[in-house]
Amino acid sequence: MAAELVLLSPLDGWAAPLAEVPDPVFAQAMLGDGVAIDPTSAVLHAPCDAVVINVHASRHAVSLRAAGGLELLLHVGLETVALNGEGFAAQVAEGQQVRAGDPLLSFDLEVLARRATSLISPLVITTLGDHAISARVSGRRVSVGDALITLTAVTSDTAAAPLSAAPELTRRITIPLPHGLHARPAAKVAECARRFTAESAITRAGRRASTRSPVALMSLGLQQGDEAMVSASGPDAEAALSALAALIEGGMGEAATLAPPPAEPLPAPSPAVAGLLKGVTAAPGLAIGRAVHLVREEIAVARDGAGVAHEEAALAAALTEIGAQIGDALKRDADPARRSILTAHLALLEDPELATEARRQIGEGRSAGFAWRSAIGGFAEALGALADRRMVERVADLRDLERRVLAVLAGGDTTEPEIPAGAILLADEILPSQLMAIAPERLAGLCMARGGPTSHVAILAAAMGLPAVVAAGPGVATIGDGATLILDADAGTLQTAPDARALEAAQRRLGERAERRIAARAAAGAPARLADGAPLPVLANLGSLAEAQGALEAGAEGSGLLRTEFLFLDRETPPDEDEQAERYQAIADALQGRPLVIRLLDIGGDKPASYLPMAAEDNPALGVRGVRLALRHPALLRTQLRAILRVAPAGRCSLMVPMVSRLSELRAVRAALDEARSDLGVAGRLDLGVMVETPAAAMMADQFAAEADFLSIGTNDLTQYALAMDRGHPELAAEIDGLEPAVLRLIAKTCEGARGHALGVSVCGALAGDLAAIPILIGLGVGRLSMATGAIPEAKALIRTLSPKACQALAAQALDQPSAAAVRALSETFRTGGG
């Protein structure tokens, strides 16, 4: 690497320091250091050789990555994201290699001068990498290609030095969060920081954010694997530093509550073509309904206030009122998805930097509404400019809070309009509070012109069972209220002018689905048997006592997987033996004598616990997790084994070991179990099984079967390890399919190894509840299926129609298919009578 790197001016104009930018996010260097240019030219050029890592959807900003880990954000004008691309044209695409001086964007100066808050355009170094700024130009005119910023190569030790000269304690951390430091974990960090008097911050490559500000933390754009520095100063700095580092590196259990995000990047908005809008699936399903537009009226605010004291009091009262509303909703709402979103909103509402910026503007004579909108707008702009799609999607949460507070300040009605029954809700973007205010039974589905598949509205829609499509483009706004629509969220489409034939086909599909569900639920209580009468038990995967009670109502014949992590996550200390024994006993009693298979604690990887400090791992999925972690914490293992052995009557439960890859691990757990049984004086044998989640376990199934009491295949992990695809990876999650022939061959190998020892095999991963997979699994030799409660009735109904011989023939064909898609097509033909 050269000793110096010179960034060239991307524009003609007047160079100015970032501190003069009339936006706190840039002026306070929340996104990073750099220079601003007041432009006189209308083409933005590359300041150095680089790769384009992001072109913002509104085409007002470009992010680049250069040599030495340098990352740059070039942002044209202020508040230009609101123009939605008007006046801008992109000259490059993501992934493109550019040379210094190449055009990146062109823009209409007249449009920007009329519509933007300011023309001033920041060039921000968001990641310094192996560099430090040694010189910069400001306070004079520059032309495209002039030297603007000089960067000097530095050693890693120099780069890691704290930026503040004030004495403070520091600790380097690596972010383990699969989805980065987004809203929910940022809120948890802020909550932790507020417990201490010490001033603390997180610094990443020269950018510093207060740990008490979730928005500032999100603006750092920290992703899994990124390194950062946590610092603290004050009387309890050491305790604060330890608590913050442990919280972040422990992962906060964040991944355990999030569904894997869709893999495909958001497409550009697509116009209506022949009555069909194409978007992105946010929540699956099919719906027919009437179009109802949810229009978000702009709330007018006065620029100037009626005095500092008056405006500060008004803002404080509005924030208190909205905080109380969210607090009341948290007390009433038991749904985990809704509670998680409400908690994140409350943390954003209490963000000290938002309040500080609003009060600063009030002090300059602005009204409370204008100050709040400006403060929100600055942070929303910062998040919207980041390359991370999830951070961009959090802008909707900020806009939600902006609207709610402004409504209170304006004295208006904060309730949403009445929605007619059977509505397919249409909007440019629906805010979380708007959706939560509508009775779910009145909605058939929803479709948004913008939005993302990992947004909070997408999470809510899935939790409410509503089909939802996002990013369907501007054509959504052209649909007339009351128009009949077909929303096929499975395909990501909205049919805007369906003819009689299309409506009839959709009605038939809906009717068939409804009939299948009704018939399946009616027969769910009967045992699952194949067409020849052979039993094939269908069990439930459980994670709580409430789920056990619901599983019986759905027809579960027991539980093939009790995830014990629900007892260990989101707490400061692990549960003791008595607490565990009591909870296991309650679940066993709720199952009324039916089988219960308890999985040993499976944390580590994507399920960290804050009280078990784990060293940062480059690849947690291949690190200390499952049985590996249990054997490294023998006291934790011993306590759990003793608690399970105390479930009465003795032998009522079975136990299985997660993430086994070597025979020695099974033997070590067997020895610990025997020791615990001896200590407690428990007679008899407790069945001990192996979870087959690694290719190693599948290939060694015959040896495991010789010593285990049963084998249970965890297809979720088995699939990701077989395909070398992280199931939490935003670009790969949708490509991971357990029906890949490679995975099916590992399942076949497991069943073959078990047969040699007359051992039963079950499947407890997501594949067990997949209707396309069930006949293939049966044909491969699987004898029990354990699945999510909602899948049980239809799975049992399908099983009753299946012939073992036909399933075996289907499985043999499936093993020879070239892809998961081909296997699914084969299964579809089989199940619809073509096989």
Identified catalytic residue from 192, 447, 764, 807: 764
Beta bridge partners of 711: 690, 761
* Residue 131: HSE in the Cβ half-sphere, 13 Å Cα cutoff: 28
Can you say how many angstroms the Cα of residue 812 is from the centroid of all Cα atoms in its chain? 37
Residue 764: CA count within 13 A, CB half-sphere: 29
Q: Which residue has the tokens 């500060």?
A: 312
For residue 682, how many other CB atoms are within 10 A of its CB?
16
Burial (0-12, 13-18, 19+ Cβ within 10 Å), 211: buried
Distances, alpha carbon 267 to alpha carbons 94, 95, 406, 648, in Å: 13, 15, 32, 55
Residue 48 annotated to the active site: no
Q: Which distant-in-sequence residues (6+ apart) come within 8 Å of 758 by Cβ?
A: none
End-to-end C-alpha distance for the chain, whole angstroms: 62
Q: Is the dihedral of CA 707, 711, 714, 718 positive or negative?
A: positive
Length of the chain: 835
Cross-strand bridge partners of residue 229: 172, 203
Nearest Cα to Cα of residue 210 among 180, 239, 230, 183: 230
Q: What angle do CA 660, 663, 669 make, to 5 degrees?
A: 70
Helices (H), 597-740: 627-632, 634-645, 663-680, 695-699, 701-707, 715-723
Quote the tokens at residue 410: 């304006």
Q: Strand pairing partners for 200? A: 232
Which member of 45, 60, 456, 729 is catalytic? Answer: 456
Instruction: Establish how many alpha carbons lie within 13 A of residue 89's alpha carbon, considering only the half-sphere containing its beta carbon.
Output: 8
Which three-class secondary structure state does DSSP give residue 692?
Answer: strand
Active site residue 456: yes
> Hey, CA dihedral for 606, 612, 617, 621, is it positive or negative?
negative
Residue type, 452: G
Strands, sheet with 227-233, edge to edge from the N-terminal-most edge strand: 169-174, 227-233, 199-204, 207-210
Q: Which of 698, 692, 734, 696 is nearest to 714 (CA)?
A: 692
The one-letter code for the residue type at 152 is T
- Residues tagged active-site: 456, 764
